[in-house]
Amino acid sequence: MRIFTAPTAPEVHIVCELLKSHCIDCQVIGEGIAGLQGELPFDDSTCPSIWLLDISQLGQAHKIIQQLEQQDQSTSKWQCQQCDELIEMQFRLCWKCNTTTD
Protein backbone atom coordinates (compact mmCIF):
# COMPACT_ATOMS: atom_id res chain seq x y z
CA MET A 1 0.00 0.00 0.00
CA ARG A 2 1.12 3.60 -0.62
CA ILE A 3 2.31 5.35 2.54
CA PHE A 4 4.10 8.49 1.30
CA THR A 5 4.01 10.79 -1.73
CA ALA A 6 6.18 13.78 -2.67
CA PRO A 7 6.32 15.96 -5.78
CA THR A 8 9.95 15.08 -6.57
CA ALA A 9 11.81 11.76 -6.74
CA PRO A 10 14.77 12.83 -4.51
CA GLU A 11 12.41 13.61 -1.60
CA VAL A 12 10.78 10.22 -1.93
CA HIS A 13 14.15 8.46 -2.02
CA ILE A 14 15.35 10.23 1.14
CA VAL A 15 12.27 9.04 3.04
CA CYS A 16 12.52 5.56 1.53
CA GLU A 17 16.16 5.21 2.63
CA LEU A 18 15.23 6.42 6.11
CA LEU A 19 12.48 3.80 6.35
CA LYS A 20 14.85 1.11 5.12
CA SER A 21 17.38 2.12 7.75
CA HIS A 22 14.66 1.29 10.29
CA CYS A 23 14.30 -2.18 8.69
CA ILE A 24 11.02 -1.28 7.01
CA ASP A 25 10.36 -3.08 3.74
CA CYS A 26 9.41 -0.44 1.18
CA GLN A 27 9.84 0.49 -2.46
CA VAL A 28 9.75 3.70 -4.55
CA ILE A 29 7.11 3.56 -7.27
CA GLY A 30 6.22 6.00 -10.04
CA GLU A 31 9.39 8.13 -10.30
CA GLY A 32 9.62 7.35 -14.01
CA ILE A 33 6.28 9.03 -14.60
CA ALA A 34 7.48 12.32 -13.07
CA GLY A 35 8.89 13.52 -16.39
CA LEU A 36 5.48 13.28 -18.02
CA GLN A 37 3.78 15.52 -15.52
CA GLY A 38 3.38 18.27 -18.10
CA GLU A 39 1.15 16.04 -20.16
CA LEU A 40 -0.78 14.33 -17.38
CA PRO A 41 -3.16 15.94 -14.94
CA PHE A 42 -1.11 16.54 -11.80
CA ASP A 43 -2.37 14.48 -8.90
CA ASP A 44 -1.14 11.93 -6.39
CA SER A 45 -1.15 9.10 -8.92
CA THR A 46 1.51 10.83 -11.06
CA CYS A 47 3.82 11.63 -8.13
CA PRO A 48 6.64 9.33 -7.07
CA SER A 49 5.56 7.51 -3.94
CA ILE A 50 6.67 4.96 -1.38
CA TRP A 51 4.85 1.66 -1.13
CA LEU A 52 4.98 -0.43 2.01
CA LEU A 53 5.63 -4.08 1.20
CA ASP A 54 4.88 -5.43 4.67
CA ILE A 55 1.54 -4.18 6.01
CA SER A 56 2.42 -5.24 9.56
CA GLN A 57 5.02 -2.42 9.61
CA LEU A 58 2.48 0.28 8.83
CA GLY A 59 2.33 1.72 12.36
CA GLN A 60 6.11 1.99 12.62
CA ALA A 61 6.42 3.51 9.14
CA HIS A 62 3.80 6.15 9.91
CA LYS A 63 5.60 7.09 13.11
CA ILE A 64 8.91 7.61 11.26
CA ILE A 65 7.28 9.76 8.56
CA GLN A 66 5.48 11.80 11.21
CA GLN A 67 8.73 12.44 13.08
CA LEU A 68 10.38 13.48 9.83
CA GLU A 69 7.62 15.98 9.08
CA GLN A 70 7.89 17.46 12.57
CA GLN A 71 11.65 17.83 12.13
CA ASP A 72 11.07 19.65 8.85
CA GLN A 73 8.87 22.18 10.58
CA SER A 74 11.24 22.80 13.47
CA THR A 75 14.28 23.28 11.23
CA SER A 76 12.52 25.72 8.92
CA LYS A 77 13.00 28.49 11.52
CA TRP A 78 15.93 29.89 13.45
CA GLN A 79 15.89 31.68 16.77
CA CYS A 80 17.41 35.12 17.09
CA GLN A 81 20.21 35.22 19.68
CA GLN A 82 19.42 38.82 20.61
CA CYS A 83 15.66 38.87 21.05
CA ASP A 84 14.62 35.17 20.87
CA GLU A 85 12.32 35.85 17.95
CA LEU A 86 11.66 32.87 15.63
CA ILE A 87 12.54 33.75 12.03
CA GLU A 88 11.81 31.71 8.92
CA MET A 89 14.89 30.18 7.26
CA GLN A 90 14.59 32.16 4.03
CA PHE A 91 15.24 35.38 5.99
CA ARG A 92 18.87 35.89 6.98
CA LEU A 93 18.02 38.92 9.14
CA CYS A 94 15.89 39.24 12.28
CA TRP A 95 13.04 41.59 11.41
CA LYS A 96 12.86 42.75 15.00
CA CYS A 97 16.42 43.70 15.91
CA ASN A 98 18.37 43.29 12.61
CA THR A 99 20.63 40.52 13.90
CA THR A 100 21.85 38.12 11.18
CA THR A 101 21.85 34.30 11.38
CA ASP A 102 25.64 34.21 11.43
Binding positions for Zn ion, rule: CB under 5 A: 80, 82-83, 85, 94, 96-97, 99
For the CB of residue 90, give the shortest distance to Zn ion in the complex, in Å: 16
Q: Least Å distance between CB 15 and Zn ion? A: 34
CA distances, 23 to each of 1, 19, 61, 64, 87 (Å): 17, 7, 10, 11, 36
Yes or no: say if 34 and 9 are a contact pair by the CB < 8 Å rule: yes
CB of 78 to Zn ion, least distance (A): 10
Cα of 55 vs its chain's centroid, Å: 21
CB of 32 to Zn ion, least distance (A): 47
Closer of 61 and 94 to Zn ion (Cβ): 94
- Cβ-based nearer residue to Zn ion, 53 or 97: 97
8 vs 81, beta carbon nearer Zn ion: 81
Between 42 and 91, name the residue whose CB sits nearer to Zn ion: 91
Cα angle 27-45-70, degrees, rounded to a multiple of 5: 65
Instruction: Report which DSSP code applies to 43.
Output: S
